A = this chain, B = another copy of it.
Amino acid sequence: MQTYKAPTRDIRFCLETMGYDQVAGLPNFEDYDLDTLMSIIEEAGKFCANEMLACNGTADQEGVHYNPETMEVTTPKGFKELWAKFRENEFAAMPHPQEYGGHGAPFSLAFVMSELSTATNKSFSMCPGLTQGLVDALLHHGSDSQKEVYLKPLISCEYTGTMCLTEPQCGTDLGLLTTKAEPIEGKEDAYSITGTKIWITFGEHDLTENIVHLVLARLPGAPEGIKGISTFIVPKILQNGERNPIFCGGLEHKMGIHASPTCVMNLEGAEGYLVGEPNKGMKVMFTMMNAARLSVGIEGVALSEISYQTALAFAKDRTQMRALDPAKRDPNAKADNILVHPDVRRMLLNIKASTEGMRALSNWIAVNIDVAENHTDEKIRQEANDLVALFTPIVKSYCTERGFWNVSEAMQVCGGSGYTTDWCIEQYLRDVRIAMIYEGTNHIQALDLIGRKLPSKGGRAMMTFNQKITDFIRDNKEDERMAPFVNPVKEASKILTDLTMNTLMAKAAKDPEEGGAIASNYLNVFALTSIGYLLGMQAKVALDREGKFYSTKLKTVRFYMDNILPEIHSLVAIMKSGKANMMAFEVDEF
């Protein structure tokens, strides 16, 4: 059973409490006050619930087809029609500049919309998601003529984009890549590119005529490692109409996202054009990758949400066993609705509270991207930029890991039915699992957090964040109603600070292996604490308002504080032994 209603009420509250007023007040975005934003989101939600979801399950079952003779890929039934509607709606054009056919809307809007589209059709949504990344890369690093040629058709969904990084011998470690780019004699700025790329999402498909690949490769004589990587645009169809020799050599067979073609791409002297400076390709890639990492984080939120709604629909429908409390038993029935059982509620609330928390966290960072890029005050821009950098790996890693747990918990609510294809959760579980791996595995995010983001600029971002928590605690310590929300955050924040100062700074700075050993758990403590703080901020607002949404929000935040935030205690206890036990094993002792 496919069921979904866009969680617009919670999204509105998130935007409101996570600082969207700062964005709406900017000159760039005077057309995008919160009401306007929400009316667009409502419409997008309907489109997703009606159109995107309709072919989500069938597309998963059908999968994608590869023809080895033509090296062409056919997408599942319904995708071409959906693409046409998606294009007509200008769903993908929202956040891009008006001069290239975009709507000039805030990134926050695109980000929220990506939750809705991912929830209802993750495979399909990956194609515009990657295209958006390519648009960003070209806006930041493309030459004027590259922008002229490619941006409009990419923004209008006439073309789609890909990101070609991985090769058989290098995934995490891009420094090992060997694809070669050699200048083409007689053609200025054009290169002949040869190599094999793997795991290329929508590397080949039948949704559009043209596909524009962003390809990492090495120029002749380039330095070894990541300092010798350059970035190239490689279109499937050249401007003169010729077919560029970049062909799909086959598809991967995967646990999920069956409707998203994961291609082996063979470049056989394909013509490409340098983007940005020679050997500075990683800079271009990181522009794509940072936004992509946030979007992958939202995948965890999106699949949690639809799984929650599905499990709740199941629970409301199913009667089984009697209520433990005799007073709650229906005297006219032989069994009670399973929502009477504390454990069913426990599982549902684990999903609900963490999903709302992750939505607050990820939307907070999305809002800060808009602030960082558009605010008129430099200091505010800088602070927002610091927070975006610090939290991008946290959003990517925590939301995808928790998202996977959440979908599994939703399956458990549905019992045997959850394991069958009938309730679709099994697809969501298969689809969400990849998010912990791609765009940098979750541990790579944790290393990014401790190795790059935390120490950057003398730890300025962490100090900014700490100050916010300190302010929150100070501002609310007199308010007794806030005690159940302030005290747990205060305790967690103390633990996080202690970990950061006395474990990370003290031990890991001296011995990088100590850092590597605790990084993943440290990231989770960071995530749990910051979500606690953000939900605490939401509780503060909810306390002064009336209505069911706000009273429920207070209960949900309370559940988070008492039933989820305490997960930090075990993480901290586990980190105590550091690297010792892990490094004690010889290779042949595993």
* A interface with B by C-beta (< 8 Å): 166, 170-173, 175-176, 199, 224-225, 252-256, 312, 315-316, 320-321, 324-325, 334-335, 337, 339, 341-343, 345-346, 348-349, 352, 404, 408, 411-412, 415-416, 418-422, 426, 429-430, 433-434, 436-438, 441-443, 446-447, 511-513, 515-517, 519-520, 548, 551-552, 555, 558-559, 562-564, 566-571, 573-574, 576-577, 579-585, 587-590
Contacts and interface: CB of A to CB of B under 8 A. Distances in A.
Contacts of A576: 562, 566
Given A345-B585, A558-B581, A408 B404 contact: yes
Given A404-B408, A515-B324, A517-B343, A585 B416 contact: no
A586 B173 CA distance: 50
A224 B253 CA distance: 50
Contacts of A517: 342-343, 346
A346 B588 CA distance: 16
Contacts of A581: 349, 555, 558-559, 562-563
A528 to B, nearest CB: 10
Query: Chain A interface mostly helix, strand, loop or mixed?
Result: helix
A563 B442 CA distance: 19
B429 A415 contact: no
Contacts of A442: 412
A520 B199 CA distance: 39
B420 A252 contact: yes
Contacts of A312: 590
B420 A436 contact: no
A416 B437 contact: yes
Nearest to A429: B255
A63 to B, nearest CB: 12
A7 B416 CA distance: 31
Point out which of A176, A255, A577 has the most chain B C-beta atoms below 10 A from its C-beta: A255
Contacts of A577: 562-563
Nearest to A559: B581
A373 B445 CA distance: 53
A339 B420 contact: no
Given A324-B512, A339-B587, A563 B574 contact: yes
Given A172-B321, A343-B519, 16 more contacts: A172-B320, A172-B415, A173-B320, A199-B416, A254-B419, A256-B419, A324-B516, A343-B447, A345-B590, A349-B590, A412-B442, A548-B589, A555-B581, A559-B581, A562-B580, A569-B569
A590 B173 contact: no
Point out which of A446, A512, A552, A566 has the most chain B C-beta atoms below 10 A from its C-beta: A566
Nearest to A564: B574
A175 B334 contact: yes
B446 A419 contact: no
Point out which of A175, A312, A420, A548 has the most chain B C-beta atoms below 10 A from its C-beta: A420
A581 to B, nearest CB: 4
A437 B426 CA distance: 13
Contacts of A588: 548
Given A339-B587, A343-B516, A583-B342, A438 B416 contact: yes
B412 A334 contact: no
Contacts of A574: 562-564, 566-567
10 contacts: A173-B335, A224-B334, A252-B420, A255-B430, A256-B419, A342-B583, A349-B590, A416-B438, A562-B581, A563-B574
Contact of A254 (B253, B426, B583): B426
A541 B562 CA distance: 41
Nearest to A518: B342
Nearest to A172: B320
Contact of A335 (B166, B176, B422, B579): B176
B415 A441 contact: yes
Contact of A173 (B321, B566, B580): B321
A585 B552 contact: yes
Contact of A590 (B339, B426, B520): B339
Contacts of A548: 588-589
Contact of A345 (B172, B175, B346, B583): B583
Given A517-B343, A569-B573, A434 B419 contact: yes
Contacts of A568: 570
B430 A412 contact: no
Contact of A171 (B337, B416, B516, B566): B416
Contacts of A558: 581, 584
A432 to B, nearest CB: 11
Contacts of A341: 516
A516 B340 CA distance: 11
Point out which of A419, A437, A584, A585 has the most chain B C-beta atoms below 10 A from its C-beta: A419
A224 B551 CA distance: 42
A407 to B, nearest CB: 11
A438 to B, nearest CB: 7
Point out which of A252, A352, A581 has the most chain B C-beta atoms below 10 A from its C-beta: A581
Given A416-B166, A570-B568, A520 B324 contact: no
Contact of A419 (B437, B566, B582): B437
A582 B411 CA distance: 19
A324 B434 contact: no
